[in-house]
Amino acid sequence: MGKKQRDCVACGGPVGYLDRQHCCRCWRRMKGEAAKAPCPSCGLDRVLQNDTGRCITCSRVCRECGHPVRSPKNQLCRECRRKAGQLAGQRICPRCGKLGYLRETTGWCGHCSRPRPEKKPPRICRECGQLRRHAGLGLCSACWQKHPGRPFIRGEHLRERLTDPPRWLGDFVAEVAAGHCVARACGFITDLGRLLEDEHSNSPQALLERSRRPGRSMGSFARALEDFFTLRGLALPTDQAERLAAGRRHRRVEAVPEPLRQAVAAFDVFRMRAQDRARRAGTRPRTNHTLETALATLRDLAVFLINERVKDGWSLVDVHDIEAFLAVLPRARKRRLTVLRQFFRFARAQKLLLVDPTRGLAAKEASGFRGQTLTLDQQRELFRRWTAEDLVHPHEALVGMLALLHGASSSEVRLLQITDVDRLAQSIRLGKRPHPVPLDPASWTVLQRCLDHRNGWPTENPHVMVTKGTKAGRSPASTAYLSHVLDDCGFPPRMIRSTRLLDLVNTMDPKLVAAAFGMDPQATLIYLSDRIDETRLSQWETERG
């Protein structure tokens, strides 16, 4: 060091250089601090390595797991070194072929060296009487799986595990045990225990929401919980029907070609708002089926415009396009034209087009009945089929007889419940009919067959027609089931019912028929025929002469 020039500004020591303000010691310290930076791993000020961007300590990592290694002599962390030491002492077992620590006495691994527990000797099953392995309660495995007390035993075990079991647990176990097979009931109790033991709320409504499966079906367990909770007033029903309807509408909207999809989606939102307003006002809102049918019609129109008319905008549609579309299905002209009028009125209000192409169109459809009916011989053949043949399914016979003799619709038979049957008066209540419908002996016999078929199911469903899919719940049979229940006889339910209504309206006062069936008086007038029955005219002349 040269001659002292000045004092250090940091420590006050002598500075021997003219161009410096710090002594040599402070100068070296400042150079070292300038080369350091915060390490992104440990956060300390260190000299970072060029290859890793971290300090030298954090740059040493385990080659197996990547964890930090403190000692520069090791390439593995402590856990990996321990595992490597264990693997070094393992050998392949000559018996099972797996890695393990071989025992000196046997030469096998520990699993193969341990003696196997001796199987219990077979015993006589107290249920089937066969010599088999014991599974529980003195029963073999097959009899134990079918034992009716299994759900109750599993329910007691669940109650013992829970710190605060709900009060309705015993009633739920009894209900699922009575309405389902043993295996299904035990599965429901297991699923319920999984929900009750998690960290979420155990209120009935919360359990019902968490039990639902994602997708189009919420699952049999969720349906069983919904029936149990709603019947006892513990929870509100789920919105599964609304979810399914929303999914169906979404699929119909997505099927519309892209250039025309936005208007159809806006029309769907508009109709849903109108349905919600009607529901709040207490009027008659449009059903989900009506909304879905309208979207299907608009989907077909959009596909027709793109493929057949080569038009990719609603403003380009004219009356000739609508006429060509309605000519595809002439029998559905009136129904389709009604939907198109509603849509184009909405589109014109939204400034999507200037002129309504459906304004000058007419349905051009007669208001009278134009459907097909059964002849007298066909009616006799069906009557003999449903009353004399034992191989006919009871549901087919019930739907057919009530439609043939009493003019019952599929929905009336579908919603018929046990409480609607009066055994003393041998009558039933159908739909919105103001008075009970007395049954003839043949119809009453068919109804008894259907009730006997229902009693064969272990069900609590209140409806007369119980299927395999509805026996575990309380919902009626599906509309799809009712639409195909008469496929074996070859005639649809609407044709059979129309035959009965046509005969009653033309032989009686239409107002009396409307009052008896709970129909609007205008609905029965379409069945009035404008022709003369020659057979009845000849009979009248014979009696008069």
Characterize the bridge pairing of strands 45-46 and 99-100. Answer: unpaired
Helix (H) or strand (E) holding 427: strand 427-428
Evaluate whether 354 touches 316 at the Cβ level (below 8 Å).
no
Report the percent of the chain where pLDDT is more than 90.
Answer: 41
pLDDT of 1 > 60? The answer is no
Task: Read off φ and ψ for residue 14, nearest 5 degrees.
Answer: -70, 140
pLDDT in tens, 251-266: 999 999 999 999 999 9
Evaluate whether 158 touches 193 at the Cβ level (below 8 Å).
yes
pLDDT of 159 > 90? The answer is yes
pLDDT of 532 > 60? The answer is no
**pLDDT range class, residue 544, cuts 50, 70, 90:** low
| Residue 364, pLDDT score | 67
| Residue 517, pLDDT score | 85
Tell me the H-state helices in 146-181. Answer: 150-161, 169-179
Q: What is the rounded (10 degree) CA torsion for 408, 414, 418, 419? A: -70
Task: Read off φ and ψ for residue 92, nearest 5 degrees.
Answer: -80, 125
**pLDDT range class, residue 18, cuts 50, 70, 90:** confident
Of the candidates 82, 51, 77, the one whose C-alpha atom is nearest the C-alpha of residue 62 is: 77
| Residue 166, pLDDT score | 92
Task: State which of 63-77, 106-120, 235-249 shows the largest mean pLDDT.
Answer: 235-249
| Residue 535, pLDDT score | 57
Q: Which residues on neighbouring strands pair with residue 68, listed in sequence order?
A: 61
Q: Is 302 helix (H, G, I), strand (E, B) or coil?
A: helix
Residue 531 or residue 68, greater confidence:
68
Evaluate whether 200 touches 170 at the Cβ level (below 8 Å).
no
| Residue 539, pLDDT score | 55
pLDDT in tens, 383-440: 999 998 888 999 999 999 999 999 999 999 999 999 999 999 999 999 888 899 999 9
pLDDT in tens, 78-127: 888 888 887 788 888 988 888 888 888 888 888 888 888 777 788 888 88
* 122-143: average pLDDT: 84
The Cα 283–Cα 162 span in angstroms is 48
**pLDDT range class, residue 241, cuts 50, 70, 90:** confident
Q: Which residues on neighbouring strands pair with residue 437, listed in sequence order?
A: 428
| Residue 135, pLDDT score | 76
**pLDDT range class, residue 520, cuts 50, 70, 90:** confident
Tell me the CATH architecture of domain 376-525. Orthogonal Bundle (1.10)
Place of tokens 């009028």: 341
**Chain-centre distance for alpha carbon 450:** 29
Task: State which of 92-101, 368-377, 512-521 shows the largest mean pLDDT.
Answer: 92-101
| Residue 341, pLDDT score | 93
**Domain assignments of the chain as residue spans, ordered by start:** 6-53, 148-238, 241-349, 376-525
Evaluate whether 177 touches 195 at the Cβ level (below 8 Å).
no
* 333-359: average pLDDT: 91
Q: Which two tokens stand for residue 529?
A: 């025929």
